[in-house]
Amino acid sequence: MKPFPEQAPVLQFDSISYSPGTTRLFTQLSLTVPVGACSVIMGPSGAGKSTLLRLGAGLIPPDTGTIFFRGVNWNDLTDHDNALVRETLGFAFQNGALWANKSVYQNIELPYVYHRPKAPKKEVQEAVTRAAALAGIQSQLSLRPSQLSLGEQKMVSLGRALVMDPPVLFLDDPTGSLDAQSLEKLLGLFNDLKRQGRTLVLVTQDPTVTARLADRLVLMKGGTILTEGPFSEVTRNPDPEVVAILTSVLSQASTFSTDILDLLSIDHEGGGILK
């Protein structure tokens, strides 16, 4: 297949509609997420954040409209090209989405099994070991998912997303159920990945994660995009609906004593109180 156009947005939704069940969730939704840096998708539960991420990753097709990933229309791909495109995209699932009857090692190895079944065993072993170490689960490789906490299962899903060293990572609530120390490590890892020039698209309701990682925010409500743009613009948006959502979403999830809106209006780039 042709190389990805260099400056193509990581995601472009063109007037998509989608009904996951009997109820319409998205109606003619359009959104462009630029390549590079970290875009955080926020909004109340049920807003459609996870579904949007899955659609963007080509895991589910929209009913109508078109979705481009790095300039490539998911619909236009042959099975062969679809597999090549998928290799460049790591997806960490909110609930882990692990295979119960496989070990942690085998779960992390899965992208190799599907995409590069002929890869030398040593290469796969090294990749799994590296990804497990990045996700902090290197001592649990022989365990089954049921022997892990929910937080650890999410880390296995993250390891699986990292195993092929993809330039793009979609992360669905990657820090939920983590203790403070693991969260700190993960924020360090995500910032390293950003510095390496990778694109992160992240669903979270955690204010620490948002304040420390987000370069851009996409704010959703009831299947619509309320507003989106650079972090500093969205968090200074005076629209009462935007302020209400930022406040409610962030305070729902926050255990901080700090005033959340103060937190968000700090000089983000300059290293605010959370840095």
Which residue number places its CB atom closest to ligand ADP?
21
Q: Can you tell me which of 50, 129, 237, 247 binds ligand ADP, judged by CB under 6 A?
A: 50
Q: Which helix (H) or strand (E) holds 132?
A: helix 121-134
* Nearer residue to ligand ADP within complex by CB, 43 or 207: 43
Region near ligand ADP per CB under 6 A, out of 40-48, 81-89, 125-133, 153-161: 40-48
Q: Can you tell me which of 45, 78, 181, 257 binds ligand ADP, judged by CB under 6 A?
A: 45
Minimum separation from the CB atom of position 109 to ligand ADP (A): 28
* Nearer residue to ligand ADP within complex by CB, 109 or 172: 172
* Nearer residue to ligand ADP within complex by CB, 216 or 268: 216
Minimum separation from the CB atom of position 40 to ligand ADP (A): 13
Minimum separation from the CB atom of position 95 to ligand ADP (A): 11
CB neighbours of 259 closer than 8 A, spacing ≥ 6? none
Q: Are 252 and 205 in contact (CB under 8 A)?
A: yes
Other CB atoms closer than 10 Å to residue 106's CB: what's the count?
A: 16
Region near ligand ADP per CB under 6 A, out of 17-25, 81-89, 104-112, 154-162: 17-25
Which tokens go with 73? 């229309």
* Nearer residue to ligand ADP within complex by CB, 91 or 105: 91
Strand order in the sheet with 89-92: 89-92, 168-172, 199-203, 38-42, 216-221, 224-230
What does the alpha-carbon distance between residue 178 and residue 174 come to, in Å, rounded to a whole number?
Answer: 9
Q: In 3D, which of 206, 162, 157, 203 has the Cα closest to residue 180?
A: 206
Minimum separation from the CB atom of position 29 to ligand ADP (A): 12
Region near ligand ADP per CB under 6 A, out of 46-54, 80-88, 104-112, 147-155: 46-54
Minimum separation from the CB atom of position 20 to ligand ADP (A): 3
What is the distance between the terminal CA atoms of the chain, rounded to a whole angstrom?
42
- At residue 23, the 3 state secondary structure works out as coil
CB neighbours of 71 closer than 8 A, spacing ≥ 6? 4, 5, 8, 9, 12
Which tokens go with 87? 């290799």
47 binds ligand ADP (CB under 6 A): yes
46 binds ligand ADP (CB under 6 A): yes
What does the alpha-carbon distance between residue 168 and residue 155 come to, in Å, rounded to a whole number?
Answer: 17
What does the alpha-carbon distance between residue 178 and residue 30 come to, in Å, rounded to a whole number?
Answer: 33
Minimum separation from the CB atom of position 207 to ligand ADP (A): 17
Minimum separation from the CB atom of position 153 to ligand ADP (A): 18
Region near ligand ADP per CB under 6 A, out of 48-56, 112-120, 126-134, 140-148: 48-56
Footprint of ligand ADP on this chain (CB under 6 A)?
20-21, 25, 43, 45-51
